[in-house]
Amino acid sequence: MSEAALALDGIEKAYLRGTPGEVEVLSGASLHLAPGEAVALVAPSGAGKSTLLHIAGLLDVADAGSVRLAGADLTRASDRKRTEARRRQIGFVYQFHHLLPEFTAAENVILPQLADGTGRRAAAERAAGLLDRVGLGPRAGHRPAALSGGEQQRVAFCRALANAPRVLLADEPTGNLDPATSDTVFGALMDLVRGTGLAALVATHNPELAARMDRTLRLENGRLVPA
């Protein structure tokens, strides 16, 4: 069995910890995500899925448990190491695309690569390849305002994959789109996942989209269980 791209073991997280008003959000959540695997994460609002994604993405620190990327334990890593791991090993996609409005689609995909030290020519070539892959080659020179909502979100997918991460974390990536556009955008996401072999954890409220992934996990009472 190949090493997990992302492994969460016994994750615990509470807010106002140790006080009378303590709220326990995660209580032993565990997940092993294999390379090339797409897993749906479903949960009612307020159940803690965003907290789980933030911990998995090294944006937040668990109270207990471990977070490993490709076998490397980053649970208590320094801020520098966590930032480096986020930049190089994790891609993020949110419900809203958060593209930089003054830059073109291609430039939005190029910029993360430049920040990681990639040369401009190589970054431009990778950006063009990713945009072509999701059918946006002809739109690469357009700024976000000239793109539809679905096109903007596809650019956001390409930006998330710009630095060839091991893991993609997506929080309701099609939640702001109409059903037809959602289906098209989700298809583009899955094509990217399958074509690049990265692991993907996708939070969604859409059962039809969840059914198209390899498996579905539900967050219940702070733990992850098969749905």
Characterize the bridge pairing of strands 38-42 and 199-203: parallel
What pLDDT shows up at residue 19? 65
Q: Tell me the domain boundaries of the chain.
A: 6-226
Query: Taking residues 61-68, what's their average pLDDT?
Result: 95
Q: Where are the beta strands (DSSP E) in 78-196?
A: 90-93, 167-171
What pLDDT shows up at residue 158? 92
What pLDDT shows up at residue 17? 65
Instruction: Identify the CATH homologous superfamily for domain 6-226.
Output: P-loop containing nucleotide triphosphate hydrolases (3.40.50.300)
What pLDDT shows up at residue 2? 64
Mean residue pLDDT of the chain comes to 90
pTM over 0.75: yes
**Residue 156 tokens, joined:** 């956001």
Q: Where are the beta strands (DSSP E) in 34-120?
A: 38-42, 64-69, 72-73, 90-93
CA–CA dist 218, 120 (Å, integer): 42
Would you state the torsion angle of the CA atoms of residues 223, 201, 147, 135, taken in this order, to the nearest 10 degrees?
-160
Characterize the bridge pairing of strands 6-15 and 23-33: antiparallel
Give the three-class secondary structure for 29: strand
Nearest-CA neighbor of 12 among 70, 72, 55?
A: 55
What pLDDT shows up at residue 151? 93
What pLDDT shows up at residue 21? 66
What pLDDT shows up at residue 41? 95
Q: Predicted confidence band at 74 (pLDDT cuts at 50, 70, 90)? A: very high
12-39 residue pLDDT tens: 999 876 666 678 899 999 999 999 899 9
Query: Taking residues 109-119, what's their average pLDDT?
Result: 94
CA–CA dist 227, 173 (Å, integer): 20
124-145 residue pLDDT tens: 999 999 999 888 999 999 999 9
Mean pLDDT is lowest, of 37-41, 142-146, 177-181, for: 177-181
Query: Taking residues 43-47, what's their average pLDDT?
Result: 81
